[in-house]
Structure 1
Amino acid sequence: MHKLLLPGLLVIGLTACQLNPVNTDQPRTQDVTAEKPASDQLEALIEQAWLITLDASPDFAYSQGNLDKAGQLADLSPKALASLNERRLQVLGSLKALDRAPLTKEQKINAQILQDQLQNSVDLYHYKDHYLPISSESGFHAYIASIAKARFATEQDYTNYIAKLNALPNYFAQQTYWLQQGLASGITPPKITLKGFEESISAFIVPVEKSGYFKPFTQYPKHFSDTQKAALTLEGTELIKNTVLPLYHQFYDFMTQTYIPGARTTIATASLPDGEAFYENRVRYYTTLNLNSDEVHQLGLKEVKRIRSEMEAIIEEVGFEGSFADFLHFLRTDPQFYPKTAEELLKEAAYIAKKADAMLPKLFGKLPRTPYGIQEVPAEIAPKYTTGRYSGSNRDDEPGYYWVNTYALDKRPLYEMEALTLHEAVPGHHLQISLNTELTSLPNFRRYSYISAFGEGWGLYSEYLGLEAGFYQDPYSNFGRLTYEMWRAARLVVDTGMHAKGWSRQQALDFMASNTALSMHNVTTEIDRYISWPGQALSYKIGELTIKRLRAKAENALGEKFDIRAFHDAVLENGSVPMQVLEQQIDEFISSGKALRK
């Protein structure tokens, strides 16, 4: 699973068709005129949209070379967000009015993806998504702490960091303002999903020397003098003690005394203002296909039935005597399936990852230059965090990371690790995202974006590739693969069930628990994630089924000339794209292959 692609940049997924988009018809902006060629107009609009992205995220702008943004945090004031939205509306209006007939095929794709990206940002603002800077897993208070993980090579780097620490009170005040607006309008995460949320705040309330914010003051470059280090350490200590830590105390009090008690008691997105329209909007956004919630729900039920029969075949294979529920209980409770230490779990992940590295040349013609490492999920967010996730980098001197959750080891079964690793590391998220970022021929708005149906569909497809590459030799590991696939199929059912069909949280918990071997801890954290992140869970299965269908289409059309390496390169060659664009790419791949056969 992948939510944040790059530190400091809110990654925007894209969709090929939106349901109930906000009306964004606008006059053309003055500098994009009909007198210019369509290609020039498009380039100007792409540049305008990119400037908006950079203005929205000073940290990302700094990583892209804008030194004026050093030491700044995002301005989330009502005036700033309204201004960004108005600018997006203007560019979007011009883009919709653009005559695309003269554009090349690639330019048309750029125009469509940019329009979808802008439309999504406008939609989110319209539906007041900025009222929700927290989720069941974590929130802004944890993500902003990544400022302490920047590169510290010069005294200026420390000066910039200190400026950001000084900016934190305003940042917390702005985010808290939006939370208050959410309380007043009923736009909050459901109260049930915020149980234990305060632990993600108290994890930051520690002595200064143990704070993650203090770490840069313990790891100075060798060329720093003792005088420099002493002065910076003193300033940093005072800031963290008197500014940063009090912010977390205040936020803890606000959340426990005001926000969580006042959060809504319903769970469905449909119960929010404009909620039904917003959820259908999210269904279309996260699938990038012309689907509604009922169609997704029925597809999920069909997939659950198919996968269940394969799971039952494995139960028969291992000779287990008992019901399906008995076998799930056995998997959840037998100590043989669980690591004893965090180090054991991390070593298992590393071993599988290295095996996965070795299979890549047989499956891909082009591989990324960026390596990846393995890290524990940060302790402050681990209790309510998912089992694993990929965290990319926006710097060429840092790798990507495959995060493994080592919290509650008795809930982290080893039989799931092959599927998890193939999904989050390679050939899954790391490979796909790194290749995407290295596509320098793409405009930046595509290089640094993430389309969930493509990325998560690729991740789930990567789990399946492991079966063809010789993984899952142990039947329990293969059952783990199937339980992960079942997990994604069940998501189609429970996400639509809760948000559009009136399902209770308990109904969703029971459905997930009775069909997968996920531990009850994971089942609970996942269901709460779906509640507070409506629609995102639909990406995985829809994307995977689309990629599998396109592969079968290519195999049938090309016969013995089908080359799996060439096919995978064709899927990934244009980066993250909507499913409808991917189909066009594979149709061209098939046509090219047929031409070579003649």
Structure 2
Amino acid sequence: MANLTAQSSRRWWRILALGTAAVLLTGASAPELSGLVVRYEHFAEDYPMEAGRSDPSRSREGWPGETPEGMARRKAELERIAAELDALDGATLTGEDRVNRDYLRELIGWRIEGIDFDERRFAFVAHEGFYNTPYSLARGLDVKSEAEARVWAERMRGIPRYFAEQRANLERGVATGWTHPGVVIDVAVAVLRNQIAVPAADDPMLASLTAYPAVRAEAQRLIEREIRPAQKAALAYIDGPYRAKARKELGIAAVLGGRAYYDFLLRYYTTTDLTAEQVHAMGLAEVQRIRAEMDKVIASTGFEGGFADWLRFLRTDPRFYATSREGLIEKYAAASKRIDGVLPRYFSVLPRQPFTIVPVPRELEEGYTTARGGGGGDFARGFAGTFVVNTSHLDQRPLYEVPALSLHEAAPGHHTHGALNNENPELPSFRRARDLLAFREGWALYAERLGHEMGVYRDAYEKFGSLSTEMWRACRMVVDTGIHVMGWSYAQARQCFAENTALADINIDTELARYIGAPGGAVAYKVGELKIVELRRRAEAALGARFDIRAFHDLILAQGQLPMTMLEAKVDAWIAARKRSGGEG
């Protein structure tokens, strides 16, 4: 039965491929390319943290070597694979083989360039970092036997060594001037303090061991005797010697080689050759456009007062805020089910995998973003997708943003995209991974925009909430480039959000710490969304009445992830094929 199900799944995706004019070609890959893809995937398996992005089952395995020596070995293997990809005869590769070769080569190039910049010197970025890695892996565990429980408990023994390696990376950053500013350090310190404050018996790393009390007791002793001291040592170092050498400037361009690093990050995150100056100009144009749309929505309500008065009203009127953590989760659940009811009008292919909505763990919620969608879950292993909602500071979590965030993080945004990736056996694993922010986040932001067509936003407040979250992403383009290249102050960056969005103060500060700590990534959302919108408009103009919105969406989601230039080529080929076939297929 399992084989029959797998065969049916493959046939279903092949039918989808043919239904999109054979733009997604299937069948056996060229042997030479297949061998290199396998090599790359085996390479990833040697570094479980990287492999875990696309295969969470590897989360019980050893810790990666992120020392300079380990990264040098990683680079050498990547260079060998890259050289063999370059040596392939491009004339013999067609369809998806050529796409896979070109994308894998570009992906490897980015990996090598990141290693050359010695990115591991930044071992944390605000609420994300090495100190969260054990917890992230623990949440992905599916322990089904005592033997598996012991494997995880044994792996936990490596956490102190892993922390020591990351401290050495941070020390190398201090020695070379590659440190974070204080605003990023503040968040890291808060996260570590919250983790340390949890009694060892309640530590989330033990959650999967409940059915195996002897193993759990052993792991708890390990937390008390070795892991907590390692966490305390990390906290003492980051809040002490590291903070003393904190970067005074907010922007990465201030460090040696920082501008070149930022330019690389823009290429990687946007998958384009856009410069920081071009991205900044695009962001300013979007801010102006969205602000005009906001003014129209405000006028439709009959509100008397200026824009600042309107924002003050939204931020302070109790009707717009939940009164309990459970109540906020219920609002997200209701919005998600309302969205489910209209999805079939816009998608002919939807995932089998459901998702659940859960609060951000208490030890992580301080400094954590408002909401976040997972990668779609794992049907085979019995894991639903996860939509995580921050239920702290309820007076800072406006309900008028709930529909837009549900569209973005769950369906048809991240969950739908991730689950379809997982359920598509025709995609190699590196195209199912979550590496390309421009594609992944661009699609999710497009999903927010689609909510207007779908009728998801029921009143002026929810429509404004959608525009506010879109403005949030437009301001990111302006603020990220402003901070990291143009020398903006914290006050300048904050002003863009405070004057143009309905974001609460805590959300603005959380987001700014994130952008300062992780340069470049914040701009990818809008760059990707604008490209998808451009491609849809191109298809609508070219096909007229023959344009099929469901087929267009199915085409985009069938790609897994691709750089924007490759996605554009896919859509152009699809348009040409539908023209030839009269709109069928």
Q: Are the aligned partners of 2:480 and 2:522 in contact in 1 as well (CA < 8 Å)? A: yes
Q: Which residue of 1 aligns with 2:203?
A: 211
Q: Aligned-pair distance for 1:66?
A: 9.1
Q: Where in structure 2 are the equivalents of 1:495-510 lying within 5 Å?
A: 495-510=480-495
Counterpart code for 1:237: Q
1:424-457 deviations in Å (ceiling 9; x for gaps)? 0000010011111222112222123431111111
Q: Say whether residues 1:346 and 2:346 are aligned partners.
A: no
Q: Check if 1:178 corresponds to 2:161.
A: no
Q: 1:574 to 1:186 in 2, by over 3 A?
A: same
CA contact 1:437–1:448 (8 Å) conserved in 2: no
2: CA distance, partners of 1:80 / 1:478: 50
In the superposition, the TM-score normalised over structure 1's length comes to 0.88
CA contact (8 A) 1:289 1:580 kept: yes
Tell me the distance in 1 between the aligned counterparts of 2:138 and 2:477. 37
Give the stretch that moved more between structures: 148-157 or 468-477.
148-157
Letter in 2 for 1:288: T
Q: Which stretches in structure 1 are left out of the alignment for 5+ residues?
A: 1-37
Shift of 1:395: 6.3
Between the aligned partners of 1:334 and 1:521, the Cα distance in structure 2 is 17
Q: Residues of 2 paired with 1:62 and 1:303: CA distance?
A: 32
Task: Name the counterpart of 2:76.
Answer: 86
The residue aligned with 2:344 is: 361
Query: What is the distance in 2 between the residues matched to 1:340 and 1:77?
Result: 47
Equivalent residue runs for 1:37-76 within 5 Å: 39-57=30-48, 60=51, 70-76=60-66
Contact kept? 2:378, 2:384, Cα under 8 Å: no
CA-based RMSD: 2.0
Q: 1:127 aligned to 117, 122, 125, which one? A: 117
Residue in structure 2 matched with residue 591 of structure 1 by the alignment: 576
- Equivalent residue of 1:195, what SS? helix
Contact 2:347 2:554 in 1 (8 A): yes
Between the aligned residues of both structures, percent identity stands at 38
- In structure 1, what is the equivalent of residue 547 of structure 2? 562
- 1:254 alignment partner in structure 2: 237
Contact 1:269-1:499 at 8 Å conserved across structures: yes
Q: Residue in 1 aligned with 2:17? A: none
Q: 1:323 to 1:215 in 2, by over 3 A?
A: same
Are the aligned partners of 1:62 and 1:70 in contact in 2 as well (CA < 8 Å)? Answer: no
Inter-partner Cα distance in structure 2 for 1:65 and 1:308? 41
Structure 1 residue matching 2:535: 3-state secondary structure? helix
User: Which residue in the other structure is 2:186 paired with?
Assistant: 195
Write the mapping of 1:85-484 to structure 2, written as runs, cut at 5 A.
Answer: 85-149=75-139, 150-205=141-196, 206-217=198-209, 219-220=210-211, 229=213, 231-392=214-375, 393=377, 396=380, 397-484=382-469
SS at match of 2:341: helix
Shift of 1:50: 1.4
CA distance in 2, matches of 1:125, 1:545: 30
Identify which range, 200-209 or 81-90, moves more after superposition: 200-209
Q: Find the aligned partners of 2:187 and 2:160 in 1 and give their Cα distance.
A: 24
Amino acid at match of 2:117: Y
Counterpart Cα distance in 1 of 2:336 and 2:54: 29
Shift of 1:207: 2.3
| Cα distance, 1:280 vs structure 2 | 1.2
CA apart distance, 1:62: 12
Q: Is the 8 A contact 1:59 1:73 kept in 2?
A: no
- In 2, Cα distance between the equivalents of 1:87 and 1:51? 11
The residue identity in structure 1 corresponding to 2:69 is K
Task: Give the drift of 1:71.
Answer: 4.5
Tell me by how many angstroms 1:404 deviates. 0.6
Q: Secondary structure at the match of 1:198?
A: helix
Q: Distance in 1 between matches of 2:56 and 2:134?
A: 20
AA partner of residue 105 (structure 1): G
CA contact (8 A) 2:57 2:142 kept: no
Provide, for residues 538-557 of structure 1, a one-character-per-residue CA deviation record: whole Å limited to 9, x for no partner.
11111111111111111111
8 A contact 2:54–2:433 mirrored in 1: no
**Cα distance change of structure 1 residues 173 and 112 upon mapping to structure 2, 3 Å threshold:** same
Deviations 1:387-446 (A, max 9, x none): 111122356210110111111111100000000000000000100111112221122221
Query: Tell me, what secondary structure is at the counterpart of 1:364?
Result: coil
Tell me the residue number matched to 1:10: none
| Structure-2-length-normalised TM-score | 0.90
Alignment check: 8 A CA contact 2:401 2:469 kept: yes
Aligned residue pairs, count: 551
1:252-284 deviations in Å (ceiling 9; x for gaps): 211222222222111112112211111111112
Hey, what's the Cα distance between the residues in 1 that align with 2:479 and 2:533? 23
The alignment partner of 1:373 has SS state of strand
Q: Secondary structure at the match of 2:39?
A: helix
Q: 1:290, CA displacement in angstroms?
A: 2.5
Q: Is the 8 A contact 2:407 2:413 kept in 1?
A: yes
Measure, in 1, the Cα distance between the counterparts of 2:183 and 2:208: 37
CA distance in 1, matches of 2:263, 2:319: 43
Do the aligned partners of 2:472 and 2:501 also contact (CA within 8 Å) in 1?
yes
Amino acid paired to 2:313: F
1:350 Cα deviation (Å)? 0.5
SS at structure 1 position matched to 2:507: helix
Deviation of the 1:485 alpha carbon: 1.0
Equivalent runs, 1:470-549 vs 2, <5 Å: 470-549=455-534
Q: Secondary structure at the match of 1:73?
A: coil
